Structure 1
Amino acid sequence: MPLQHVEAGDLVVAYEAFGPPGAPAAVLLHGFPYDVAAVRAAAERLAARGLHVVAPYLRGFGPTRFIDVATRRSGQQAALGHDLRAFIDALALVRPVVAGFDWGGRAACIVAALWPERVAGLVSCGGYNIQDIPSAQTPLSPAMEARLWYQFYFHGERGRAGLTANRRELAWLLWRQWSPTWPVSRETFAASAPAFDNPDFVDVVIHSYRHRYARVAGDPRFEATEARLAAQPAIAVPSIVLEGADSGLFAAAGTSALRRRFPRLVAHRVLAEVGHNPPQEAPETFADAVVEVACRRG
């Protein structure tokens, strides 16, 4: 799939496009540490069903680059949300469905929550993906804290050095820990690994995992957005939540709890033998959810 580029906000965003331009649109978003290969199979299925699909590389990944060398290499959640909004505007997409997981799911949730007029609906893998930074110092269970070891590792300079020196080995370890039942091959991983060679990858990742625990300041331009996100806003667009039953990171949420966050929840599906990366582990199910939300376009 030929790579395309567009200036959007702080970035020159590299992205892949599928399906007929002008058709109802969907934006599919990868997470950390993955790349657009995570959503490519789903994008091809959606294009075959008549949708126009775009899949961008997030800030700090693959060929996406910052326009200005002086721009702070922020990985905070508000930056991801603004990136997605700017990308939708730059491509003149008319109320696309936004869908993703991990960092990409967070960007999709933020745009759907704060700027619902920009999107037709949401597919969120992993539930309500907006960080509750004011509560970040509240400890979780020891078992859950152990699963988040990589986040605490990145809080120190040893973690920065480790990510710099071992980014591929660390990403492969996380893939296996987070999706223990996914029979992913080294060849599949190797196709995504070059995305981590982006010159801004380490700075963006380290800032992301420090900011979410209030250990570093964010970009001042996003303070107002972070204040809105701290209120944990509901997501009032038609939404489907997909969760992997075998995720090695987070346990599936209860549907009743999700309805408080998603007042227009269309469906909550827990996928057997799927881990943290539903778009790549179950691309047909992910694509079906995007179509189901798109059909509710008002």
Structure 2
Amino acid sequence: MRDLATEFEAERGRLLAVARRMLGSRSEAEDAVQETWLRYAGALADPAARAEIRELSAWLTTTCARICLDVLRSARVRREAYPGQWLPEPEVRPLDSGPAPDGYAPDPAERAVRTDQVGTALLVVLERLAPEQRVALVLHDVFAVPFAGVADVLGTTEVAARQLASRARRAVTAPDAPRHSADPAEQRRVLEAFVAATESGELDPLLRVLAPDAVLLGDSGGHFPAARRPVVGADAVGRFTLGLFGRAGRYAHRVRSRPVLVDGVLGLQLETEHSDGRTIRLVTAFAVNQGRITGIFNQLNPEKLADLPPLGDDDTWPPHW
């Protein structure tokens, strides 16, 4: 069992990356990986059974993906009854924490190629897909699993697996999908301009930062007031944003904030007080493309923010870059 545990721990980071992109939920991903371990330990405890597995990584990926597929099918039903809009649990880290383990090979060239596969925008777009499409896209396009392996996970043919991935790819790259392609330097320039525009209280400066088809989504889980439908278009998003962040400027002494990495992309963590005395914690993720914001994703469901790093007394509004 000690050898099995050592082998599994070497794969845990990559399995978590697979499950997180499939499920959009860190807690569900951790549960899926734990279930993968239980099946692994149960099926391969016999040395003879373990010896028959030539590629452990592929076996674990297939097992984890099948578990995720079952979770996705049941999650679709649960999310249809979710109060308001649904956003994934954000993975929030300090700016100086460096890259998080993501399961990819450490080769710098490969990591650069996969940069556009990180961020809340991708997780949000993946929610549009049927479970089978999502599994096919993540396994093949993100983790380079051959279509034969994808077909094995889905219990279908290789041709059908290709078709599922192709349909998913079209959905992810659809014109109305929030696009994110900015490097960290561009993200910072755009977010600094965004904060300055909200501080001005004027709509025009904000419109210059927002893409014409920008979209804003907010997830409060029914705990706080939030838009129940996506806010679409630069003008509507701008006015909504001024109402939300403009209050931060007017009541700056009651707002704490700091820039953070949200799912690997520059974002904001804020904290203020609701009119009824409750503390509101907010994580805002952004999608940035060609110098403008294409997506704003506000997560304020306290059930999804339980593990946030605490803000300090120096984390004032506007945020310090």
TM-score of the superposition, structure 2-length normalised?
Answer: 0.22
Higher-Rg structure is 2
Select the structure that is richer in helix. 2
TM-score of the superposition, structure 1-length normalised?
Answer: 0.23
